[in-house]
Amino acid sequence: MFPIKINGERIGLSRVAAEDLDFICELECNKDIWFFEESVESDKEIIREKYLENMDSPTHYDFIIIRTIEGEVRPIGLAQIWSYVEHRKSWELGFAIIPEYQGHGYGNEAVNLLLEFSFHHLQAHKVVGMCNGHNQKSMKLMERLGMRREGIFKDEICWNNQWVDQYFYSILDIEYQNR
């Protein structure tokens, strides 16, 4: 049994439950949060179904990022890890913080907790992350946590009516242990 809650210094990660779906729907439909994505889902029923399907999955973990400092317990984002290539023990991560909490290190802490969960509980060999080539904040965050850019997928994403590169980052279990 894997933990449902993971505690950090200023945030916690809590596995998405049915009572979180209203927050998830608002977050997933917020175009400001997903500015660098190709598309943003606007149908809340589709979003609900997707998260309900993944709730008990052993290969897909969705977590609410909860701010837990200054006596406040507030959902501020989403952190995810899912099986990328199962037989290779590779997992892919994703994350999003609502705009008013961006730039305060919460994403950094959340991704660090995801990496810890991946390598210690999921026994991952490799964790990957991908981002739009214009998303400097995501690139810097992944690099800060020891992930390295492994490749560039040229003209991979149609974003703002133009083709842009997608950057591929990763960290191996041994690199995580030695950082």
Under 8 Å between Cβ of 124 and 168: no
pLDDT score recorded for residue 108: 98
pLDDT score recorded for residue 56: 87
pLDDT tens readout for residues 41-70 = 999 999 999 999 999 899 999 999 999 988
Q: What is the mean pLDDT of the chain?
A: 95
**Residues 1, 116, 100: CA angle, nearest 5 degrees:** 105
Question: pLDDT-derived band of residue 3, with 50, 70 and 90 as boundaries?
Answer: low
Report yes or no on whether pTM surpasses 0.75. Answer: yes
Query: Does 1 score more than 50 pLDDT?
Result: no
Burial 73-87 (b: 16+ CB within 10 A, else e): eebbbbbbbebbeee
Q: What is the C-alpha separation between 135 and 102, in angstroms, rounded?
A: 14
Cα separation of the two ends of the chain: 27
pLDDT score recorded for residue 2: 56
Collapsed DSSP state (helix, strand, coil) of residue 119: helix
Query: Does 166 score more than 70 pLDDT?
Result: yes
Lowest mean pLDDT among 33-37, 69-73, 154-158: 69-73
Q: Which domains does the chain have, with CATH numbers?
A: 5-178 (3.40.630.30)
pLDDT tens readout for residues 91-117 = 999 999 999 999 999 999 999 999 999
